[in-house]
Structure formats: structure tokens, C-alpha cells
């Protein structure tokens, strides 16, 4: 007959050990799975935050550039023309806000062009006739947007109310638009900006740079 002392000293059986290891492995698997889920959620949240911050930075620079469009006249095709023109997929103007040099930079031609991605070119304004420098002094390709479309607000004049247009021809219009709208998609989210031009009203009253 086995004494109580002998029974308590016999330890774990192999089956008991295997059961314990199986339970421990199951707990570790559940813990690891939960950790991976939490880590994935954190990574996605961090990625979305970085994407949002990048998009806001891009939109802020574009807004400041367009808002500060200067009523500069430049020489082209044998005559002077206002340096502001655009189509639904492109926009060219002169601004002192630069991607490369920041705000209050020397005036330069800015071109925004949509062709599956947003291309940005900055060119010098060359004296003495403010012609367009070539090649670009700064080139940037932005993958921020899925689509981009520009439109232009013509001011009310006489019996004609203000009206949005899909193009702005400097030779035909001869003045700055009241505002520029930028619409599109960015990472599946809709974007919509309406940017009033700081110098538009002064330009309508005759203010120009040459």
C-alpha cells in the first residue's frame, strides 16, 4: 500500500504535462493573435493619419500658391498677356509661393497639370519681358490624388451673373478669375476647394505687374 507521502511526491504524469502544454500553447496563440490584430489596427491608423497629414500639406501649399496669383503681364506670341490661364486638367499662373523656396519667394510661373497624377513645375520669370524660363527649376510628381479637375469663377459683369467655367484663356479674358475651384478624389475621399484670388479685385480695377 502506498503512503500519502509517496503519492504526493510522484509529480505530473506525461498526459497531464501534455494537457498543460496544450492549454499554454492555446493561450499564447490567442494572446499573439490579439497582439497582431491590435498592431495591424495601429499600423493602419498611423498610415491613415500620415496620408491625411500629407494630403493636407499638399492642399495647403496649392491653396496658398493659387490664392496669391499675381496679375503679371508677360510677353508671348508677339504681345503681352496676363499670366493666368487654365483648362480642366491644367493651370498656369505666377505666384511668390514656391514648393522649393517657401513663401515670399521671387515670382515664378507655376504649372499644375493632371495626367494620372498631379505634376508641378516651377519656372523662372525672365527679365526684361517676363518670359517663361525653361527648363523648370523645380519639378514634382504627386501621388496624393486619384483625380483632379479645375474650374474658374468669372466675376459678375453688367447683366451677366458670376459663372463657373471649365477653362480660362488669358488672351480672351484679360483678367484674373474671382476664384479657382479644385475638385477630385484623394485615396477614395472627395476633395473640394474653392480658392478666392487675393489680387482679383485689384486687377479688375486696373492693377497689373509688368
Domain borders along the chain are 56-204
Look up cell 498543460; give the residue.
20
CA atoms within 13 A on the CB side of 94: 24
Kindly state the cell numbers that stand for 12. Answer: 505530473
Map 170-193 to HEC letters. HHHHCCCCCEEEEEEEECCEEEEE
Report pLDDT for 113.
98
Q: How far is CA 190 from the centre of its chain?
A: 12
* DSSP output for 23-39: HHHHHHHHHHHHHHHHH
Separation CA 184–CA 193 (nearest Å): 9
CA angle 36, 41, 43 (to 5 degrees): 90
DSSP H or E stretch at residue 161? none
Cα Rg, the chain, nearest whole Å: 31
Backbone angles phi, psi at 43, to 5 degrees: -65, -45
Coarse DSSP helix, strand, coil percentages of the chain, rounded to the nearest 5 percent: 30, 35, 30
Q: Show pLDDT as tens, one digit a residue, over the chain (210 residues).
A: 555 555 555 566 877 777 777 887 778 777 777 767 666 665 555 555 565 687 889 999 999 999 999 999 999 888 999 999 999 999 999 999 999 899 999 999 999 999 999 999 999 999 999 999 999 999 999 988 999 999 999 999 888 899 999 999 988 889 999 999 999 999 888 999 999 999 999 999 999 998
Report pLDDT for 55.
85
Q: Which of 99, 181, 109 is nearest to 148 (CA)?
A: 181
Report pLDDT for 10.
59
Report pLDDT for 147.
97
Report pLDDT for 8.
53
Amino acid at each position: 500500500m502506498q503512503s500519502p507521502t509517496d503519492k504526493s511526491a510522484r509529480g505530473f504524469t506525461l498526459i497531464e504535462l501534455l494537457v498543460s502544454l496544450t492549454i499554454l500553447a492555446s493561450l499564447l496563440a490567442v494572446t499573439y493573435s490579439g497582439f497582431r490584430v491590435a498592431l495591424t489596427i495601429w499600423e493602419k491608423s498611423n498610415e491613415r493619419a500620415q496620408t491625411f497629414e500629407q494630403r493636407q500639406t499638399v492642399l495647403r501649399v496649392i491653396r496658398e500658391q493659387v490664392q496669391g496669383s499675381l496679375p503679371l503681364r508677360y510677353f508671348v506670341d508677339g504681345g503681352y498677356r496676363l499670366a493666368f490661364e487654365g483648362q480642366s486638367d491644367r493651370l498656369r499662373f505666377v505666384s511668390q509661393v514656391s514648393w522649393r523656396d517657401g513663401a515670399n519667394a521671387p515670382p515664378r510661373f507655376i504649372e499644375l497639370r493632371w495626367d494620372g497624377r498631379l505634376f508641378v513645375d516651377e519656372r523662372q520669370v525672365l527679365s526684361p519681358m517676363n518670359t517663361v524660363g525653361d527648363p523648370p527649376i523645380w519639378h514634382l510628381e504627386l501621388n496624393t490624388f486619384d483625380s483632379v479637375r479645375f474650374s474658374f469663377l468669372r466675376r459678375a459683369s453688367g447683366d451677366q451673373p458670376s459663372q463657373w467655367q471649365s477653362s480660362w484663356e488669358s488672351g480672351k479674358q484679360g483678367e484674373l478669375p474671382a476664384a479657382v475651384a479644385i475638385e477630385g478624389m484623394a485615396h477614395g475621399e472627395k476633395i473640394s476647394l474653392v480658392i478666392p484670388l487675393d489680387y482679383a479685385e485689384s486687377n479688375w480695377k486696373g492693377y497689373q505687374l509688368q
